[in-house]
Amino acid sequence: MKKVLKIVGIVLLVLIVLLIAAPFLFQGPIERAVKKSINNNINATVSWEDLDLSLFSSFPDAELKLKNISVINKAPFEGDTLATSEQLGLSLGIPQLLKGGPYSINELKLDNAYINIKVDSLGNANYDIAKKDTTATSSANGQTSENALSLDVQHYEINNSRINYLDEKTKTFLRITDFNHQGTGDFSADKTTLETQTDAVVSFELDSVNYLNKNTLKLDADFEMDLANQKYTFLENEAMINQLPLTFNGFVKVNENNNEIDISFKTPSSDFKNFLAVIPETYAKNLDGVETTGDFTVNGIIKGIVDDNNIPKMDISVKSSNASFKYAELPKRVENINLDATLKNETGKLPDTYLDLNKLSFKIDQDVFSANGNFKNLTENMLVNLAVNGTLNLANLENAYPLELEQDLNGILTANLTTNFDMNSIEKENYQNVRSSGKASIRNFTYSSPEIPNKVNISKASLNFNTQKVTLEEMQVASGETDANISGTLENFMGYIFADQVLKGRFNVKSNTFSVNDFMVAQTENKSETNTENSSAKTEKTTTTTSEEAIKIPSFLDARLDFTANKVLYDNLTLNNAKGALIIKDETARLENITASIFGGNIALNGNVSTKNTQPTFDMNLGLKSINIVQSFNGLELLQNLAPIAKALQGNLSTDIKLNGNLNNDLTPILTSLAGEAFAQILNAKVDAEQAPLLNRLNGEMKFLNLDNLNLNDLKTTLSFNNGNISVKPFDFNIKDINILVSGSHSLQNTMNYNLKLDIPAKYLGSEISGGLAKLTETDLENTKINLPVAISGTFNSPQVNLNLKQATKELSQQIIDKQKDKVKDKIKDEAKDKLNDLLGGDKKNDKNNPEKTDEKKSDEEKVKDAAKDILGGIFGKKDEKKDKK
């Protein structure tokens, strides 16, 4: 007995050792077999990060796991990803490992996969990667090679995966997400029953028309599989599309050159609740407790051949008669619901598919709404024939159906119109082929949004449809302080609705009061981050970030608005008798011939604002005529930046400004980006020096100036802007008979770099001149002037003034010398010198201790300069004046 136990123990030990060692012994041969099988059968690049073989987790089978696997296409889809998966699991029998092959897969599991199927416009499919002339590899004795890999699948699973299918030729797009599918059957047998379970979220689009949008799909189905003839027949099954049940009968057969389909389906019951179940669950909400009457049925047949030239014939009908529904939590019932719609194809050719909407009608309270029509040639040049008639209180929609809207619906919609067109005419703007007629109107409609501060009230709006355009006969709008009456035309309303084209129109707007502030709101987004440092101290740090949402000019709009308004309110500005045009096109708003009364004068404006690029821009011409300087300075920040000194002026001016630059996201100018020029003319003005520190400083430095005598009437100058700097073209003005020439520049941060040249009559030197200069020159002081350069720097609020007395002294000295030379040109040089010495007090004795005596050593020219310097110092130097008082 001990011997038997010993043998059993040894066998068990050997088996355990084999189970532990097997992955290391067999992993290499199996990986080579997998790669060889792929290379022999697939024309694509297949790779994985890791291969793992385990004998414990799936005992008595071995489990092979390929991690992070990918399948990359070769030409004609070179580099495209056909499939990826986090993990592909394969199960095979352990005896196959011990024999060294052949290897047969009996279970397959795919986790977190992405499958991207594409058919191009030429009909090439990226999933067609099987090699055409693959032959089985056999050994010399006719047996399958020991490294061969075959599929004998009994069970398979696809978990939490995604599938995209795009057919560019037929403009078909299918997206399947949250895809879970499993099947059990014997794929090694010629005939078997496959039991499947499937659930997914499905979206389906055909030729830009969305038929399914994130609809939930569940299918529990058994199939009879005739693998020898590749025929798959529906047995017991039930599908759920959202909450709509369907059952299927028929088969799909795969032939060498085509596929054959013969399938019928229907709803197992005729309860009208089935109709609500077609609506995506997000919108239909919970159908429990919904009261319904009437019926709803879906019946369909799809039968025929599928190949490059054909699709199956189809006849799918949806019908309901005299039905109603009411949600328990809502007050209104929708009743008298009638629906008769059919999707058909009677030829098997894709362009011949059409949809008949024979009838659609419903009633809420006393309002009845109905529609009928047909849509032909769905996949190519779709032909639309549609009629709509009825009245609908929009507020009742939310009272009858659980909609989740950002704002409340309201207003009475009335429509009675027909339209007939083909999509090619819409896309090519051949509106002469569009046949439309009828009217639509809305009353008592209100609209509110976080993007505007006040509700917009439309008391009445009516549209008149005709062959080529839609006429907005009238539209009465009010919001906040704003009222407007709008009329106009829309040239391609159908193109905007059906083909996502730019909406074109021309409108006339009349308003008593139009407040721009009624349509502007500051939007900010606050984000807080909390960091904790030193857990013991529990110190909290919060950072708040604020950002404004960018304002964008609509890209879908191509419109012109001609407007007149008795009063326009913008921020703190009031414009009277405003008129002009606003043209919106290509994400650009152009202002054309805008005129208005403002600041006691008139304004004229042309220009544009564009948000087409990442950086918004503007370009404008602004004319202000005879405006009040004080009012305009207080109202326009632009003028405050261009000419801060104007704060001290009281009067009227005119200016023409040409300006361009970049804008912030809220469409305010970025001052440092401004470029252009301005021409300004002061018509009349008085100066209030107390309002300008610069004028006060100049008045203090030059005591002979009297700003009451400042004459700025008809003063003209030109300014140019570049990179945040404003340069002033030289201009001059007078303070009584003192002429002042100004040139220089300042920045938008108000730093200054200006030069003034004052041409000062010598008579303003006053008593200082009577004892010195008058004797020196012996000439009429009216003809003597001093040129004084003045440099101004600092800021407008804290100016720095530098008087160039050295230059003024030099010029005055030269004037004196020149005048004296003229006086004595006919006299002897020595006499001229003596006379000049007498005038300068040169007859005083020479004494070291006597300053007057030391003057004898100086030249005549030096004496003149000293005299001029002393005089100017007394006039312009405030420090000397203080010393005298002491």
- Most confident stretch, 205-209, 374-378, 532-536, 702-706: 374-378
Whole-number Å distance between alpha carbons of 487 and 505: 10
The residues facing 61 across adjacent strands are 93
Whole-number Å distance between alpha carbons of 242 and 199: 11
The three-class DSSP label of residue 742 is strand
Q: What is the pLDDT of residues 306-317, one digit of tens each?
A: 887 888 999 999
* DSSP H/E element including 21: helix 2-41
Burial of 703 (0-12, 13-18, 19+ CB in 10 A): middle
E-assigned strands of 449-502? 456-465, 470-479, 482-490
Give mean pLDDT, residues 387-398: 90
- Most confident stretch, 567-571, 754-758, 839-843: 754-758
E-assigned strands of 227-312? 231-241, 244-254, 259-266, 291-306
Return the higher-pLDDT residue of 131 and 618. 618
Amino acid identity of 721?
F
Nearest to 320 by CA among 279, 292, 291, 301: 292
Written as six digits, the tokens of 522 are: 């500051």
In sequence order, which ranges of 147-241 are alpha helices (DSSP H)?
A: none
pLDDT at 179: 93
Burial of 599 (0-12, 13-18, 19+ CB in 10 A): buried
Domain residue spans in the chain?
A: 20-129+145-169, 187-386, 599-735
Asked if pLDDT for residue 499 goes beyond 70, the answer is no
* DSSP H/E element including 862: helix 860-876
Whole-number Å distance between alpha carbons of 618 and 669: 8
Mind giving me the DSSP string for 302-369?
EEEEESSS---EEEEEEEEEEEEEE-TTSS--EEEEEEEEEEEESSS-GGG-EEEEEEEEEEETTEEE
Say whether pTM exceeds 0.85.
Answer: no
Whole-number Å distance between alpha carbons of 554 and 588: 8
Confidence of residue 369 (pLDDT cuts 50, 70, 90): very high
Whole-number Å distance between alpha carbons of 786 and 763: 10
User: For the ranges 86-95, 317-326, 874-883, which has the lowest average pLDDT?
Assistant: 874-883
Whole-number Å distance between alpha carbons of 821 and 336: 118
Asked if pLDDT for residue 76 goes beyond 80, the answer is yes
Give mean pLDDT, residues 646-656: 80
The three-class DSSP label of residue 2 is helix
Give mean pLDDT, residues 770-779: 46
Q: What is the pLDDT of residues 5-52, one digit of tens each?
A: 444 444 444 444 444 444 544 556 666 766 777 777 788 888 888 878
pLDDT at 52: 80
Mind giving me the DSSP string for 109-156?
EEEEEEEEEEE-TTS-BTT--B-TT----B-TTSPBPTT-EEEEEEEE
- Please, which residues have CB within 8 angstroms of residue 338's CB and are 6 or more apart in sequence? 320, 321, 322, 323, 359, 360, 361, 362
Whole-number Å distance between alpha carbons of 591 and 606: 5
Give mean pLDDT, residues 737-741: 83
pLDDT > 70: percent of the chain = 72
Angle at 165 between CA 257 and CA 220, to 5 degrees: 85
User: For the ranges 90-104, 369-383, 498-512, 588-602, which has the lowest average pLDDT?
Assistant: 90-104
Asked if pLDDT for residue 778 goes beyond 80, the answer is no
Return the higher-pLDDT residue of 158 and 189. 158
Asked if pLDDT for residue 93 goes beyond 70, the answer is no
Contact 687, 651 (CB under 8 A): no
The three-class DSSP label of residue 596 is strand
User: For the ranges 6-10, 604-608, 698-702, 707-711, which has the lowest average pLDDT?
Assistant: 6-10
